[in-house]
Structures are given as C-alpha cells and as structure tokens.
Structure 1
Amino acid sequence: MRRVIFNQKGGVGKSTITCNLAAISAVEGKRTLVIDLDVQGNSTQYLLGGKVSDSDRTIAHYFKDCLSLSLFGNNNNSGLENAIHETPFPNLYVIPSHPDLEPLQGRLESRFKIFKLKEGLDNLRGFDSIYIDTPPILNFYSQSALIAADKCLIPFDCDTFSRESLLTLMQTISEVKADHNQNLTIEGIVVNQFQKQANLPRQLVDQLIAEGLPVLSAMISPSVKVRESHSQAQPLVHYVPNHKLTDEYRALHAEIHGG
C-alpha cells in the first residue's frame, strides 16, 4: 500500500504524521519505506538524525538518473532500491530528500517525467507499506506522489484558513485522480493539533463532518513531545511508547488499516 501525505499549506504536520505512522507500521512487523520528496528534508532528519552525505544516494539521484537514461539508455544503478537507507529502527527504511530536488524540478517537468516515481515504485519489491512525504505546494514532486500513490491522507490543523483551502485541495486531488491515477482515493482528513476543550477546533471539525468530508475519528493532540522526538530523531513509538500522543497515533494507524 502506498500512501501520500499531502497538503498545500505548510506547518500542518505532514512529516510528523508520515514518520510516526511509518514507525508504527514497522513496529508491527511490516517492512516499511518512507520517501521524502520535500526539499526541506524533515522526514529525512527525523528518521536518520543527521544530514545525508554528498556521497549517499537520495531521491534526487533517482530523478537525475531518470533524466540521463533518456540519453544514455539503461543504467544498473538507476532504480529506487539503490537510494534506500536503513534507519536505526527495525523494519523502517527511508529514501532521503536532497537540496538538488529544487534545481531538478524544471528539467523534470520539461522532459515529462511525472510518471517516473510511479514506475520506480511499480518495480520496487519487498515493502509492505510505503509512505510518501510531500512539499507543501502542488509542484512536480507532489503531483508525482499523487500519481504514484493508492491513498492520500490530508493533514488539517484546525485553522480557519486551512478549512478555506481544504475544498480546493480536495478538488486538486480529484483532478489528479481523473487525469492520471484512477486508483487514487482520499483515505481521510487527519485532524492535527486538536484541542478538544477549545471551541474553535471543535466547531471547525464538526463543520467538516457536517459537510460530509472524510474526517478520521482518530485525532492528534498538541504536545511538546513531538518537538522533543524531532530533536532526538526518534518517532514517538520509540521515544515515548506509553504516552497519550503515541496512543493517538496508534489509533490513527489502526483506523486507516481497518483495525
């Protein structure tokens, strides 16, 4: 199963949700891969703890190979499998981001490489679950992820401006589905930073539900433990396995997996 975590608004917790769901999947024994398509590399930092060296292969190297293959034919070092890194956590792997993603984008767009991520994943074997973290904008990389994925999770941070952009976002996803990926489904809206005692968040969520939007039942509370786990480069299931927030992520993972 391939899941993309996508929102065109920054700061809604895409990387945190991506890495924590993937970490729980790995703890449950599933061989799990995270692909970091955001040039900021937050998922890469979260799971690997340090910057990737210039000699390490990353998702940028895969896309560079996609460009060079058009000119020079097959390359034995061109598949996604060559960019996979082990994390310190059993069953959990990552294909890191890289700053070169930014300058590569124009060349990839002009050469119509929008399906190359899907092709690479179609040829990849050995993973039970794949999570794709995306940039907070609809660009070449986020579109590639939507084309390559089976399901899309949308983080929502209980902000009035987030609600205003949500319908536009869902329309964008529907257009990608219609034009490029008939199998793509919106799995649900993940309510993040949810303060259940506050009026505005509850009102916003109730409004989304009343409008028939696919709001997931499991919601994520705000906590300093998220920032601490980032600084320690340990997903919550490893950093604070018995914390309430970790249980909320377990509930979210169970919900999307039909548990």
Structure 2
Amino acid sequence: MRRVVFNQKGGVGKSTITCNLAAISAQQGLRTLVIDLDPQGNSTHYLLGAPGEAQDITLADFFDQTLNFKLNPKATTDFVLASPFERLHVMPSHPQLEELQGKLESRYKIYKLRDALDELADQYDCIYIDTPPALNFYTRSALIAANACLIPFDCDDFSRRALYSLLENVEEIKADHNNKLAVEGIVVNQYQARASLPQKVVQELIEEGLPVLEPYLSSSIKIKESHEQSKPMIHLDARHKLSQEFVALHDTLARKYGV
C-alpha cells in the first residue's frame, strides 16, 4: 500500500500523521518507508533526528539524477536511509527540492517517483508519502505514485473551504493519471471534544457523506515533546491517549483498506 498524506493548507499535521502512522506500521512488523517530499523536511527531522541538510544523500539527489543522464546511475535503494526504529526507513527531504521543482516540471519528470516506487515494491509492505502544503510538482508526483490519499483536517472554517477544492484536485489526477487512486478518508486532527465548533464542523462533513475517519486525533501538548525528541508517539509514550488514537486509526485503515 502506498499512502500519500496531502492537504494544500499548511499546519494541519501532515508530517505528524505520516510519521506516527508509519512508526506504528513498522512496530507491528511491516517493512515501512516514509518519503518526505516537503522541502521543509519535517518528517525527515522527526524520524532521523536531523534535518535534510545533515543527510549524505536525499531526495534532491534522486530528482537531480533524473535530470542528468548517467551511465551508472544510483539505484533507488541508494536514496533510502535507515531510521533509529526497526523496519522504518526514510527517503529524506532537502531544501534544494524547491530549486529543482521548475526544471523537473518543465522536463516532465512527473512519473519518476512512481517508477522508483515500482522498483521498491517487493521491499516494503507500506509506503507513506509526506507532501508540501501546495498542489505542485511533488504533490502531483505523489498522487500519481500512490494507491490512497489521506487528508488531514484541523476543524476550522478555512480547512473546510479548502477541502472541497482538494477533493476535486485528487479526482482530476485520478481521472488523468492514476485510476487506482482512492481517497481513504479525512483524518480529523487536533480535535477538541469539548469545543462546539469542531463538533459542528465534523458533524456537517459526515452529513455531507464525506469519508471522515475515526477515531479523531486529540489536541495534546505531548506531540510537541514527540517532535522535539524525534520520537513518534508510540515510542515516546505508548500508553498516552494520543498514541492509542494513532494506533486505533492505523487499525481502522488496515481493516478497511489493507496495510
């Protein structure tokens, strides 16, 4: 299974959701890969404990290689790094991805990520792709390469307005490039159960027939500690309420859609 975590709005928890679900997959015995396509590199820092600039080889090197023909190119596996967590690997981001984007788009390298993941198909049980907060070359590459799309949603009116155009964009890419792509669901993040607005917004989404997933992910200061220590919640405090919500969400996805 290849999952892309995507929302055009920033600050909705894409990297947090990507890394925590991936960490649970790995902990449950699945060979797991995280691909960090966001030049900000939050998933890279979260899982490797250091930013992309500190890595010897990154996705910037992978995409740069697609622009420059070489007689002996590096294999896709050469761009994969082991994380400190068993069975969890990362293709790290780098700020240089921003500079490469225009060249990659103009030379129509939009299918290179899909081809690379096809090469890795036998090596990983599940792949999670973190994306930039924009519908750009990297996000389109991810949606073309993926089987499924998870949409983080943080319960405010701006997120709700953006949600409809996001769903239309996903459907357009499905129609034009990847008929296997499906929206797995909307992940409600930073949910405050005692506040009336989040309850109202989420209930309206459900009434509209949108695929809102349960459980909702609670708002918690513990996640900041998780980020600071570069430890996904399942490794920081497995008994914490938010850790258990991530596990339950992971189990929901596995039960409904496979690993």
Distance 1:179 1:198, change over 3 A: same
Once residues 251 and 112 of structure 2 are traced to their aligned partners in structure 1, the CA distance between those partners, rounded to angstroms, is 31
1:91-106 correspondence runs (5 A): 91-106=87-102
User: What CA distance in whole angstroms lies between the structure 1 residues aligned with 2:56 and 2:179?
Assistant: 35
In structure 1, the partner of 2:83 is: 87
- TM-aligned CA deviation for residue 55 of structure 1: 6.5
Distance 1:9 1:252 in 2: 22
Structure 2 unaligned blocks of 5 or more: none
Query: C-alpha offsets along residues 30-82 of structure 1, whole Å, 9 cap, x if unaligned?
Result: 0100000000000000001113456611111110111112xx4x4341x3211
TM-score with structure 1 setting the length: 0.96
CA distance in 2, matches of 1:13, 1:54: 23
Give 1:143's aligned residue: 140
Q: Single out whichever of 109-118 and 120-129 deviates more from structure 2.
A: 120-129
CA contact (8 A) 1:149 1:184 kept: yes
Distance 2:215 2:67 in 1: 41
2:217 is matched with 220
Amino acid at match of 1:61: D
Residues in 1 aligned to 2:72 and 2:176: alpha-carbon distance in whole angstroms: 30
1:4 aligned onto 2:4: yes
Asked if 1:29 is matched to 2:26, the reply is no
Aligned to 2:66: 66
Aligned residue type for 1:104: L
Match of 1:172 in 2: 169
Q: Secondary structure at the residue paired with 2:68?
A: helix
Alignment match of 1:233 (pick from 226, 230, 253): 230
AA at the equivalent of 1:37:
L
Q: Secondary structure at the match of 2:65?
A: helix
CA contact (8 A) 1:229 1:235 kept: yes
By how many angstroms is 1:205 displaced? 0.3
Greater mean alpha carbon deviation, residues 38-47 or residues 79-88: 79-88
RMSD across aligned positions (CA): 1.1
Counterparts of 1:104-119 in structure 2, within 5 Å, are: 104-119=100-115
Q: Secondary structure, in 3 states, of the residue corresponding to 1:114?
A: coil
**Separation (CA, whole Å) in 1 of partners of 2:54 and 2:12:** 29
Return the letter of the residue paired with 2:89: Y
List gaps (5 residues or longer) in structure 1: none
How far the C-alpha of 1:217 sits from its partner, in A, is 1.6
Moved over 6 A (4+): none
- Provide the C-alpha distance between the structure 2 equivalents of 1:170 and 1:84, rounded to a whole number of angstroms: 31
Report what 2:198 is aligned to. 201
Taking the aligned partners of 2:119 and 2:49, their CA distance within structure 1 comes to 28
Q: After TM superposition, list the pairs within 5 Å mapping 1:233-252 onto structure 2.
A: 233-252=230-249
Distance in 1 (alpha carbons) for counterparts of 2:140 and 2:146: 10
1:48 aligns with 2:48: yes
Which residue identity lines up with residue 40 of structure 2 in the other structure? Answer: Q
Aligned length: 255
TM-score by length of 2: 0.96
Residue 121 of structure 1 aligns with an amino acid whose one-letter code is L
Separation in 1 of the partners of 2:157 and 2:165?
A: 14
Q: What CA deviation, in whole Å up to 9, does each residue of 1:202-223 have, x standing for no partner?
A: 0000000000000002110000
